[in-house]
Amino acid sequence: MRKIFYQGEPGCFSEIAIKKVFGDKVERVGLRYFDEVMEKVTDDKESVGILPIENTLIGKISYNYDLMLENPVQIIGEVKLSVHFSLIIHPQANPENIKEVWSHPAALGQCKSFLSENKYKPVSIYDTAGGAKYIIEKNRKDIGILADRNVAKRYGLKIIAEKVEDNENNFTRFVFISQKKKKVPIKGKTKTSIVFGVKNAPGVLFKCLSVFALSNINLCSIESRPIKGKPWEYLFFVDFEGDMNDGNAAKSVDDLREIVDYLKIFGSYNSVEVR
């Protein structure tokens, strides 16, 4: 593995997550949209990408669940990254002149109380670190951005408030994706991710979950996504503790296959929490 694709500018949380796992052993390539990360991964069997899929303050990032559903990818590793936001402004700006705060919609959502208490107008942009670059390039002294504290140093900006998220106990969960199974240097619990679809009937989701409960397998996450064109029918994304190479997990998934109309396995991988 020589390079990994992420959405954002250098200094954003996706790039930090890659560095926490690989250090400087891989090239990190920033792209503008999540779709472009997925395109790079599906264009070339050797490519690896990273996508954020959940934040502990705002919840699942549904957009990326849908991207993973629609494309032939596997999950090959997971990082849960501790996330804090600083309010960052132009080095010559006066904090009192800051009226608007720019950041990624997910970042604005995580700092909702801070923004409303200080009467800052939130403005959505495509990336947390991208906003920092813009402030310097355009010499803007009237806007602030929300980003990781290291973004300030990288772009020569100043920090006027730290840890402004609604709750400091805040993590974003990222997955490494690829077309083929690849070795990722993550040591941690083994998890498996799947998605399945069932016809709506009394007790049907209960029946699906029973295959895991009866094998004493712990579910880490469940997320329902609508099926386009079939109102009120859903697909369920489920993460559980266990490895498809171990008989217990494999048997549960085999039992599930008997019940569901649709099943896709994203694979088994290791997961680690980093600060």
- Which are the catalytic amino acids? 172, 174
For its own copies, the binding residue among 2, 229, 258, 275 (CB under 8 A) is: 229
* Structure tokens that stand for 242 in this block: 């266990």
Residue 97, sorted as left (phi over 0), alpha (psi -120 to 50) or beta, turns out to be alpha
Does position 248 interact with its own copies (CB under 8 A)? The reply is no
Residue of 272, 193, 207, 195 whose CA lies nearest to 239: 193
Does position 7 interact with its own copies (CB under 8 A)? The reply is no
Are the C-beta atoms of residues 109 and 51 closer than 8 Å to each other? no
Per CB under 8 A, which region of 53-61, 94-102, 127-135, 181-189 contacts its own copies? Answer: 53-61
Return d(Cα 121, Cα 181) in angstroms, integer: 44
* Structure tokens that stand for 229 in this block: 């064109």
* Structure tokens that stand for 37 in this block: 């990360």
Does position 180 interact with its own copies (CB under 8 A)? The reply is no
Per CB under 8 A, which region of 20-28, 142-150, 163-171, 257-265 contacts its own copies? Answer: 163-171
Minimum distance between the CB of residue 221 and its own copies, rounded to whole angstroms?
A: 8
Are the C-beta atoms of residues 91 and 136 closer than 8 Å to each other? no
Does position 23 interact with its own copies (CB under 8 A)? The reply is no
Return d(Cα 71, Cα 23) in angstroms, integer: 28
Minimum distance between the CB of residue 241 and its own copies, rounded to whole angstroms?
A: 8
Residues forming contacts to its own copies in the complex (CB under 8 A) are: 54-60, 62-63, 80, 105, 109, 124, 166-167, 169-171, 200-203, 205-207, 209-210, 212-213, 216-226, 228-232, 234
